[in-house]
Structure 1
Amino acid sequence: MDRYLAKITTLQVDPAHGGSAGKVFVGKPTLEKEIAAGKLFGFAELTGAQPEGTSLVDQLLDEAKDELYQTGAIRRAGGLTPAADLEERFGQVLQHVNGAVATFLETHRTGTDFQQSSILLGNIRQQQLVISTVGRVTGYLFHYRPTHDYQTVTITEPTPGVSVNPLRLFTQTIAGSLGPLDTAMFCSDGLLDYLSLHTLKTTVTGNAGPDAVRQLKTALLRARPKTPAVAIIISLVLHRPAPLPLSLKNFDYLGAASRDSMRTLAHTQRQTSRVLTPRLLPDVQKFWHWLQETGQRYRQRVHDRRPSRPAPNAPVLPVPPPTPPPRPSHSALRKVSAFTATTTRRAFTHPVVKTAGAMVATLAANIWRRYRSWSWKRQLAVAGSLVLAVLLVWNLATLSGRRAVTAREKAFATVLAQAERLRDAAQASLIYQDETGARERLNEGLRILDQLPETYAAHPTVVRTRRELNTKLNELRHEVVIADPLQLANFNNLDDDARAAPTMVRLGERLYAQNARSKVFFTLNLGNRSIAEIQPSTALEGTLNSATALSRTAAVLLDDDGRVLRLDGTDQIRPLPLTLPGGNAVAVASFRERLYLLSAVSGTIFRADPAGGGFGAPRNWIADPSVDLRTATDLTLDGDLYVLLRDGGIVKLNQGRPVTFDLQPIDPPLSGPTKIKTSEASAYLYLLDPPTKRIVVVGKDGKLARQYRSAAFDELRDIVVDEAAKTIYVLNGARLYGVPMEHL
């Protein structure tokens, strides 16, 4: 029976500041004990511990090991227990450990802050995993999916505000199962302070355990951590018991060799006979057998129809007339049958048909009479010639069919080889970081496969090649599918008919969004996630469609009537006397207290400089008259200015003049982008594309970095980017979501 055994690797980095005691533990039971009771693992990182803290860690782990692997306990558990019994047995181990820790703390003074410590104790047997945590421990499951990628599942994470009772350290367990290709990782907060979840995921899933630990340790040491960091990585390996040795006692070697020799000789004779026999002979034999079978069937049919002679002196009984079969009662069926019979009778009784039939019968009779008048040698020669002619026609027909099949198979092999060459060429392009070329070759390969006839669509090689091409394309899309995004606020809780305006702005720790129906503000406090409804001091008449933050306490708003407003941190709103000569603005952005207003009507950008506590008169900022921005939807700045066009293009400007910006193709293409965001400190541009329900992140070199897509993004309005917190705040309808960044 195949079994899975746990492969556990550990990581521990200690900056040697003192003040903490840490240890990583992995049990090393025998194979029988691991199969029966599992493999114990854990770590403990005690904050503020005195030297007695190390003794506490050692006693905690020793007590757990002794209780789990003692012979009597394994025997009572029954060896290979199901998952429920495994969890129950682990609970008994934790109770024993709690008692030992309580006894230790009563006799020693460690000064340990269990609230800030990280303790993990777990057990894995085959695919069943059960853990218990104390303090600041985070666990992830990297689940391998059929799409050849990994889904990140949070197993456990620190819960703020939960107190730890040192006398009852382990209070609950978490149980689950591990897939054959899954990887579980548990770590302290010290690791997540320096490495992102995306780095952990790609390193752990892309390398073997020891290599992953070595790369993570190198990255940690490069970051010069100030706090200890511990981690445990768990995967599964398949264990197959060694087969039992074959018993060769009293084996008849001579008899076996003789039988093998006779089989080989008979096989060789059959193959030689096939090679030496002409190809025509099997066809003649087949035709002759067919003639024999046909003749036998004909003689049997004639014999069955011949009436039997009555025995002499036997009484002759009157034979009743045959009973006609019952006719179907359905009138329509009777009509069809009658029509068919009438039509057939008329056809055969037609004069032309009768004449043709008579001519054919006369010709056949003349040929047969002439054939019978020949000598037997001539008859045999003619019959043989006819047989050979039939065989020749048969072979020619089958040969042409085989040639057609061969031509189709050759064309199929050529198309398949071309698709595989394109796949390999795309892989070679990726070596040189040419994602655009790789994407073009992969799409060309799929186009070639689509041209194959439907009969080859289910061919295993075609299915495999198509799956490989699609897998590579999905990797090049850099797509993150968010099944259930984290909801931070639902403004429908304040107003059932709330409908958010297409903009959002952040001031300090608060996010502001407008209710387009009532024109009031909704706010979300990012610190405590509380929402509120605010009536501004000055009533708003229009719906806001763009906003930009001047600082942490002030923002500029733009409504759909082109009015420009200023919002202070005290929720005070006052209008700004800014009028554009070319029509109303559709978007506003700021950089170092200067305002930039996009006028789609005139296809240009106006800049307003600060003056007298407000802003001066807007002036045309575009220095190149060839720049046409009439299809622009939004703009953003980082020193350079980026303008988003309705067709998904991006125009980069510096000092009012266009600058080359090579935006690489995005798959699938942008179909209706509305917002673009960046900052001076960011290396990325964030694009909002509501029709495709996604947020597209591209580098400022034009290369695609990531795509965040969710079915829940059905009414995207605006985004606010916080790279420091690695979060994108998404306004969708009346809901506000938080999307974690995986590209940083």
Structure 2
Amino acid sequence: MEVMLQSGSTKAPKGTLLRTHEFTDPRGEHSCLVLELVGKSDDLATVEQECINVVRQGIVDADGAAEARLDGVLKELNGLLKAFIVAGAVEDAHMLVAILTADGQLHVSHAGRAEAYLIRRGTASQITEYTPGKPSPTFVHISSGTLEPRDAVVFCTQRLLRALTPAQLAQHIARDDRAVDGVVRALDGEGEHAAIAVLRTEGVQVTMPMRAARPTRRSREQGLRALLAPVLSAIENVVRSAAGALAHPRWFGTAREAAGTFVADLSHPQRRRRAHLFLLAGSLSALLLVWTTVHVFTLSQRSKTQAELEKLVGQISDQIQAADSRRLIGDVVAANEILSQAEEQAKTVMDSENGTFRTEALDLLDSIRAKYAEVNNIIRVTSPTVLVNVASRSADIVARGLVSVGDGEFTIFDRQDTYRVLQNSVDTPVRLSDEELIVDGAAFPQSRLASQVFLLTGNDVVEVIDGQRKQMKTEDPAGWMTGQDVEAYLKNIYVLSAEKKQIFKYERLTDRYTAPLPYNVSGDLTDALDMTIDVNIYVLKQGGSVVKLFRGEAQPFVISRAPEHVLDSVTKIAKAPGGNLYFLDPTHKRIIVVSENGDTGDAAYVRQYVLEGEQVGNLVDLSVDGEGTRLYVLDEKRLYVIDLVTR
């Protein structure tokens, strides 16, 4: 496999060393060490040399399986770094060690905030494990996988997705010899510093004996035309002679006389053999004429089709460039329309019967999808970080919802039980009711109440305070209103009832709630699904439309620049205090982010996060932290955490 490593770095601040080192050995393996060391300038060169010696002796000069050698090197590096940190020579370290075997197996590990990304077919995805909280200068995980021809792997001592979207990263890496320079400029523009390396695979080298080149389709067609040229010329002469004879007035008499002679020869004992030969030759000539005519027509049609497909491929390339131009001037709608047309044309080329330009069409489809992701700011989260696996407490759990309590604490609930989540641990489930089912839940954020409230079937409301459940009453003699969503805000709870097209507001008293007050005055809440509250109440309806209410009155709310049909399948809505709106789309396993200008009320599409990986199940709920920096997404078994792009 042909392997090429490109490296570079940003400007290093004082007391920081940024380096990349490449190692090769006769086994055909390629290894690299990418490091960023922070500490005393006089000691950093010594630390660097010690790290180089450990990698060279443990990987290049050692024997054994690649992953085992890497594991041994990581243990030595962990001990070395710990010793230097204790001695005060190193304050912090961010490093990557990778080994690529001759058969294309890549093993990579990281310490600190360093990360590795795989660029495959125009799509970028992170391949190193995400570490929540403050990064530790310790090697913990080894990520392994097989590289394919034309893959690229980016090693960086900085979290690149803070400065670039995955689509922008893939676009920079596609520039081959300028890849590292583009990433460095992006990091410099954000005031970040890092060491960077790009590992490229160009394909498998196979040594084979020389053999005659197989003729291409075009050369075969040219040879066939040369072979048929004399035949076509002879047929043309015959046709011209026949046309001249037909124009002569004695043609009919001559033809009748020749036909009579031929029929007589068929029964004549001496001339019968010659007549049979003439008959056979005439039949073969007729077949050859028909075959030649059909084949020439087919070649002509095929050449015409090939020319049309070649023109179509050129048009698709032009459309991709036109979409990029539209993106640069901010016309996202037009860019998406152009890309949709280009995709349909590329599929037309793919579906052509003769298979011409199919490889080019595949490459163009990859380019179209990468450009679509760039235009619409789509971030693909491959194998998102699992904060907790609730199935570890109850294997048959089917989670229904998520309640954010604050300070890293959550409550996950199914139809009967609640599960307290603190940091990355799950408590034993607590059953709220043996007779009724949980509809929805909410928490009083940053409140002296410090309680959670759950809406149950059977018109009941239960609060959980300090782990103790308490059935709450309302002053309404008719009992609690039924609904499908409950939210807490200040000292009130709000119950959304799509059936009654209303939101009912209850104020909490000392040990009970007041009678409900209808909140909605002018909003159409037909087919309402979910709501979220941040001064205003935002009600999500089927089909993705949103009703914004302030003091019960409907307010203008239109989302601009959104891709067509992007909100058609959303089921949940959440909002960071004073920040963006987040929509959950379980069908496409994505979260759509929409910004809102608090002064004008204008809303605009920002980006979307697409969750990818076999472990990601049916998404059921979401929550965002108070700072708007982390997104929590719940499926039926697991709670995931995603670092949000804040710029």
User: What's the TM-score, normalizing by structure 1?
Assistant: 0.60
Query: Partners of 1:100 and 1:448 in 2: how far apart?
Result: 55
Corresponding position of 2:210: none
Corresponding position of 1:654: 550
Q: 1:430 Cα deviation (Å)? A: 1.6
Cα deviation digits, residues 672-703 of structure 1 (max 9, x gap): 533211132322x2222334444333334241
Corresponding position of 2:439: 545
Corresponding position of 2:582: 686
List alignment gaps of at least 5 residues for structure 2: 173-178, 203-225, 240-255, 267-281, 597-602
Query: Partners of 1:37 and 1:498 in 2: how far apart?
Result: 46
Corresponding position of 2:119: 144
Cα deviation digits, residues 230-275 of structure 1 (max 9, x gap): 6321124799xxxxxxxxxxxxxxxxxxxxxxxxxxxxxxxxxx9x
Residue 433 of structure 1 is aligned with which of 327, 330, 344?
A: 330
Corresponding position of 1:638: 534
Cα deviation digits, residues 418-439 of structure 1 (max 9, x gap): 6555444433322223333222
Query: 2:36 aligned with 1:61, yes or no?
Result: no
2:486–2:493 contact (8 Å) kept in structure 1: yes
Corresponding position of 2:253: none
Corresponding position of 2:211: none
Q: 1:369 Cα deviation (Å)? A: 6.1
How many residue pairs were aligned? 568
Which amino acid in the other structure matches residue 44 of structure 1? L
2:6–2:198 contact (8 Å) kept in structure 1: yes
Which amino acid in the other structure matches residue 17 of structure 2? K
Cα deviation digits, residues 159-185 of structure 1 (max 9, x gap): 9999x9xxxxx9999797996753443
Q: 1:664 Cα deviation (Å)? A: 5.1
Corresponding position of 1:561: 458
Residue 445 of structure 1 is aligned with which of 342, 346, 351?
A: 342
Query: 2:623 aligned with 1:720, yes or no?
Result: yes
2:38–2:92 contact (8 Å) kept in structure 1: yes
Query: Partners of 1:459 and 1:692 in 2: how far apart?
Result: 31
SS of equivalent residue, structure 2 residue 436? coil
2:20–2:197 contact (8 Å) kept in structure 1: no
Query: 2:591 aligned with 1:695, yes or no?
Result: yes
Q: 1:130 Cα deviation (Å)? A: 8.7
Query: Partners of 1:159 and 1:612 in 2: how far apart?
Result: 39
Q: 1:551 Cα deviation (Å)? A: 1.8
Query: 2:403 aligned with 1:504, yes or no?
Result: yes
Query: Partners of 2:618 and 2:82 in 1: how far apart?
Result: 54
Cα deviation digits, residues 337-379 of structure 1 (max 9, x gap): xxxxxxxxxxxxxxxxxxxxxxxx99944556699xxxxxxxx
Query: 2:155 aligned with 1:185, yes or no?
Result: yes
2:538–2:549 contact (8 Å) kept in structure 1: yes
1:13–1:217 contact (8 Å) kept in structure 2: no
SS of equivalent residue, structure 1 residue 154? coil
Q: 1:661 Cα deviation (Å)? A: 1.3
Corresponding position of 1:706: 608
Return closer, same or farther for 1:456/1:742 CA change in 2, 3 Å cut-off.
farther
Query: Partners of 2:393 and 2:75 in 1: how far apart?
Result: 46
Corresponding position of 1:322: none
2:491–2:507 contact (8 Å) kept in structure 1: yes
Return closer, same or farther for 1:212/1:141 CA change in 2, 3 Å cut-off.
same
Corresponding position of 2:271: none
List alignment gaps of at least 5 residues for structure 1: 15-20, 47-52, 165-169, 222-229, 240-273, 288-360, 372-385
Pairs within 5 Å for 1:583-598: 584-598=482-496
Query: Partners of 1:512 and 1:397 in 2: how far apart?
Result: 75
Query: 2:17 aligned with 1:23, yes or no?
Result: yes
User: What's the TM-score, normalizing by structure 2?
Assistant: 0.68
Which amino acid in the other structure matches residue 549 of structure 1? A
SS of equivalent residue, structure 1 residue 584? coil
Query: Partners of 2:80 and 2:340 in 1: how far apart?
Result: 64
Corresponding position of 1:235: 198
1:560–1:586 contact (8 Å) kept in structure 2: no
Query: 2:637 aligned with 1:741, yes or no?
Result: no
Structure 1 range deviating more: 151-160 or 642-651: 151-160
Query: Partners of 2:141 and 2:549 in 1: how far apart?
Result: 57
Cα deviation digits, residues 285-324 of structure 1 (max 9, x gap): 999xxxxxxxxxxxxxxxxxxxxxxxxxxxxxxxxxxxxx
Cα deviation digits, residues 637-681 of structure 1 (max 9, x gap): 223322111222222333412313136555675565332111323
Query: Partners of 2:587 and 2:51 in 1: how far apart?
Result: 55
Which amino acid in the other structure matches residue 544 of structure 1? I
Corresponding position of 1:469: 368
Query: Partners of 2:366 and 2:594 in 1: how far apart?
Result: 27
Point out which structure has higher relative CO (alpha carbons under 8 A, 6+ apart): 2
Which amino acid in the other structure matches residue 570 of structure 2? P
Query: Partners of 1:603 and 1:100 in 2: how far apart?
Result: 63
Structure 1 range deviating more: 628-637 or 92-101: 92-101
Query: Partners of 1:184 and 1:174 in 2: how far apart?
Result: 16
Query: Partners of 2:365 and 2:109 in 1: how far apart?
Result: 44
Pairs within 5 Å for 1:251-290: 281=233, 283=235
Pairs within 5 Å for 1:67-86: none
2:20–2:195 contact (8 Å) kept in structure 1: no
SS of equivalent residue, structure 1 residue 12? coil
Which amino acid in the other structure matches residue 231 of structure 1? A
Residue 519 of structure 2 is aligned with which of 602, 621, 634?
A: 621
Q: 1:631 Cα deviation (Å)? A: 0.5
Query: 2:28 aligned with 1:44, yes or no?
Result: no
Q: 1:575 Cα deviation (Å)? A: 1.2
Which amino acid in the other structure matches residue 543 of structure 1? L
Query: Partners of 1:161 and 1:494 in 2: how far apart?
Result: 28
1:485–1:737 contact (8 Å) kept in structure 2: no
Pairs within 5 Å for 1:150-189: 150-154=124-128, 181-187=151-157
Which amino acid in the other structure matches residue 521 of structure 2? A
Return closer, same or farther for 1:142/1:585 CA change in 2, 3 Å cut-off.
same
Q: 1:736 Cα deviation (Å)? A: 2.6
SS of equivalent residue, structure 1 residue 714? coil
Q: Which has the higher helix share?
A: 1
SS of equivalent residue, structure 1 residue 439? helix
Question: Rg bigger for which structure?
Answer: 1
Return closer, same or farther for 1:586/1:408 CA change in 2, 3 Å cut-off.
same
Corresponding position of 2:427: 531
Return closer, same or farther for 1:171/1:447 CA change in 2, 3 Å cut-off.
closer
Query: Partners of 2:80 and 2:576 in 1: how far apart?
Result: 55
Which amino acid in the other structure matches residue 117 of structure 2? F
Cα deviation digits, residues 528-582 of structure 1 (max 9, x gap): 524222355xx57432222222224223322233433433344343314165999
